Homo-oligomer: A and B are copies of this chain.
Amino acid sequence: MTKNKKVNASILIIGNEILSGRTQDTNTGTIALWLNSIGVTVMEVRVIPDIEKTIIDTVNELREYNDYLFTTGGIGPTHDDITARSISKAFKLDYEIHPEAFKILEAYYKPGEFNEGRQKMVWMPKDAKLILNPTSGAPGFNIDNVFCLPGVPSILKSMLGGLKNRIVGGKPILSNTISLRTVESEIAKSLSKVQDNNQDIEIGSYPFFQAGKLGVSIVIRSEDQFKIDSCSSEILNFVDEKKIEVVER
């Protein structure tokens, strides 16, 4: 994979608690920001319930057309943690005790504490590569281009660093944000012209409310810093002409 190729990923959030609205997902943001920083673009996120067939079908669909697939959730010790078993089935691999994971958790817990519930966490697809967990011991795992992480945000976060050398990204995606004291409709036409002039740049426009005042953040994204700078100048030109206040740039 060369540094010039676009590298894509999808994120699959597995868990009824997100779909019911009980829990707010924050893992998408954590994984997406990290992937961006290493040159991987997130093309899609899906949230699905703890249903085996749904997990198998979605994993097999997403791993097919993405360079990488990251799953979160469902790798703990309880009955509703069915990710490892489902991924085994998706890959038609045996679901079995991972000897290295077993050793890690046996050493992690005090004698006698590595009980049946905890032992469930070392059942994985045969020959999975481990993703080490510096926070709470129980590792995630990786099969082919699929990386399975836990759902607890702080634990997930602590495990990403260890993955860096296993993900080959493209050029990092750079961005510049220009925040304006205006409303979107005031700049829509001019911004559209800038987008037409710079079709290979991603320009997003996002209204915000801050300290009781309305504003718009324009986010310019590209792998090419020169193009970002040139596009930013075009935007600042019309902003200046329209006498719009720049809050941040």
Contact = CB atoms under 8 A, between A and B. Distances in A.
Interface in A1-57: 13, 15-26, 28-36, 41-50
A158 interface: no
Contacts of A36: 20-21
Contacts of A195: 79-80
Contact of A32 (B20, B79, B185, B187): B20
B79 A192 contact: yes
Given A21-B30, A26-B24, A46-B46, A152 B192 contact: no
A116 to B, nearest CB: 6
Interface residues of A, number: 64
Interface stretch (A125-133, A139-147, A200-208, A231-239): A200-208
A165 interface: no
B186 A117 contact: yes
Contacts of A205: 76, 78-80
Interface in A209-225: 209, 219, 221
Interface string A110-129: 00000111101000000000
Nearest to A177: B22
B48 A44 contact: yes
A45 to B, nearest CB: 4
Nearest to A47: B45
A120 B19 CA distance: 33
Contacts of A204: 15-17, 50, 80
Contacts of A47: 28, 44-46
A77 interface: yes
A103 interface: no
A163 to B, nearest CB: 16
Nearest to A48: B44
A184 interface: yes
Given A16-B221, A116-B188, A154-B209, 19 more contacts: A13-B45, A18-B45, A19-B32, A19-B41, A19-B43, A20-B173, A21-B29, A24-B26, A24-B29, A43-B48, A45-B46, A46-B46, A76-B205, A78-B184, A78-B187, A78-B205, A80-B203, A115-B185, A152-B207
30 contacts: A13-B45, A16-B204, A16-B221, A18-B45, A19-B41, A20-B32, A21-B29, A21-B31, A21-B34, A21-B35, A23-B206, A25-B28, A43-B49, A44-B46, A44-B47, A44-B48, A45-B46, A46-B47, A76-B184, A76-B205, A77-B184, A78-B184, A78-B188, A79-B191, A115-B186, A116-B188, A117-B185, A117-B188, A117-B189, A152-B207
